[in-house]
Amino acid sequence: MKLEILPISQPKEKIADESKLTFGTKFTDRMFAMQFDRDQGWHSAQIKPYGPLALDPAATVLHYSQEIFEGLKAFRRTDGSIALFRPKDNIARFNRSAERMCMPEVDEQFLLESLLELVRLEADWVPNSEGTSLYIRPTMIATEPFLGVRPADQYLCYIILSPVGAYYKGGIAPVKIWISDHYVRAAHGGTGEAKTGGNYAASLMAAREAAEQGYDQVLWLDAREKKYVEEVGSMNMVFLYDDKIITSPLKGTVLDGITRRSALKLLADRGYQIEERALSVDEVMEGAANGRLKEAFGTGTAVVISPVGSFCYQDHCVQLGNGETGELTMKLYQELTDIQYGRKPDKHDWVIKL
Ligand SMILES: *Cc1c(COP(=O)(O)O)cnc(C)c1O
């Protein structure tokens, strides 16, 4: 398939003061888009001016949520060059999500090349300052105008780019986590391991209640017994427990995070034993109280590593250590961001330079 590149008329104004950059509010001049229908397969791939979509009000995505997305980043490195972190992993996961949602798979090589070309054309939008990056959002939606319930016959796949500010403006800071014993995110046989919008729509109520009570994030328990820790909002959870690393196994209800994978690899390199097993909420609460649970952090592309300061469950809150960022958590954050920004060698071939 050929990639057609259309001109833009007027570049938008960039945010000159990078300390004013936020997350996901400002978008670049161009976007990538391609269409799918049953007869032609994927076709009409273009890089074109960023702008609104024309969708039929009956488009399947608007009624039955046939939608998937990805999130990855391009970084401006210390030598001025631009690199992407593990983009092939994101595109492979995009196809796994597509399969789960009965959507057509994409040609991974073609999507990667299109993505790299888009970032190349928008290189001026990759910010320079510490902790900033260009967030990349590949998306696929069902566009067929049809109100029956079945997989659609027409799709749109697009990629948009957003310059994002440093997540930790005042340095890496621990969060307060609410463990929900009422709401659930994903059940066995459900769509928990697909990156699909519906999972997020279903999580909003719990997130709102948590925010109203002064918590930063919701930690989800398993849907069956409401006993085992699964993941947080848009992050996987990793625990340092008795000098071992414990994280939820990937058995269909937890998203296979790329930051999770990277963190586990770096921890294994440091000699830690990794246990992928279901940690119970009792182990978390007791472990924090008796000191066996030394550190806990979330992993996800947007924040990279998010340290946990305290956990709250039912009417009880426990602080981890002294409530500050753990030593290992801090080292891991440093190591991962050093690789992303090109300050340290990339021994695992995670980085793709433009
Ligand atoms: C995207 C996401 C993550 C984190 O995945 P990364 O690849 O590390 O960004 C974790 N949990 C959920 C539910 C997600 O959607």
Is residue 106 included in any domain, yes or no?
Answer: yes
Interstrand relation of 41-49 and 3-5 (parallel, antiparallel or unpaired):
parallel
Ligand 1 pocket test: which of 195, 199, 238, 303 has the largest number of ligand atoms within 8 Å of its C-beta?
A: 195
* Interval 25-48 mean pLDDT: 97
With the most atoms of ligand 1 within 8 angstroms of its CB, the residue from 70, 235, 253 to mutate is 235
Atom 13 (ligand 1) nearest CA? 234
Q: Are residues 317 and 229 in the same domain?
A: yes
Q: Which amino acid would we find at residue 283?
A: E
Domain span holding position 251? 175-340
- 325, 181: one domain: yes
Beta carbon of 301 within 6 Å of any ligand 1 atom: yes
**Region of residue 314 (phi > 0: left; psi between -120 and 50: alpha; otherwise: beta):** left
Q: CA–CA separation, 37 vs 123, rounded Å? A: 32
Residues 20 and 124 in one domain: yes
pLDDT in tens, 83-120: 999 999 999 999 999 999 999 999 999 999 999 999 99
The CATH code of the domain that includes 116 is: 3.30.470.10
Region of residue 89 (phi > 0: left; psi between -120 and 50: alpha; otherwise: beta): alpha
Using DSSP, state whether 92 is helix, strand or coil: helix
| Residues 37 and 138 reside in one and the same domain | yes
Tell me the whole-structure pTM to 2 decimals: 0.97
Q: Is the residue at 219 inside a domain?
A: yes
Ligand 1 touching residue 236 (CB < 6 A): yes
Q: What ligand 1 atom has the least distance to the C-alpha of 259? A: 8
Domain boundary among 120, 139, 164: 164
pLDDT of residue 257: 98
CA distance 203 to 332: 28
What's the CA gap between 303 and 282, in Å, rounded? 27
Whether residues 157 and 260 fall in one domain: no
pLDDT score at 15: 87
Secondary structure letter of residue 150 according to DSSP: S
Provide the domain count of the chain.
2
> What confidence tens digit (pLDDT) does each residue in 148-205 have?
999 999 999 999 999 999 888 777 889 999 999 999 999 999 999 999 999 999 999 9
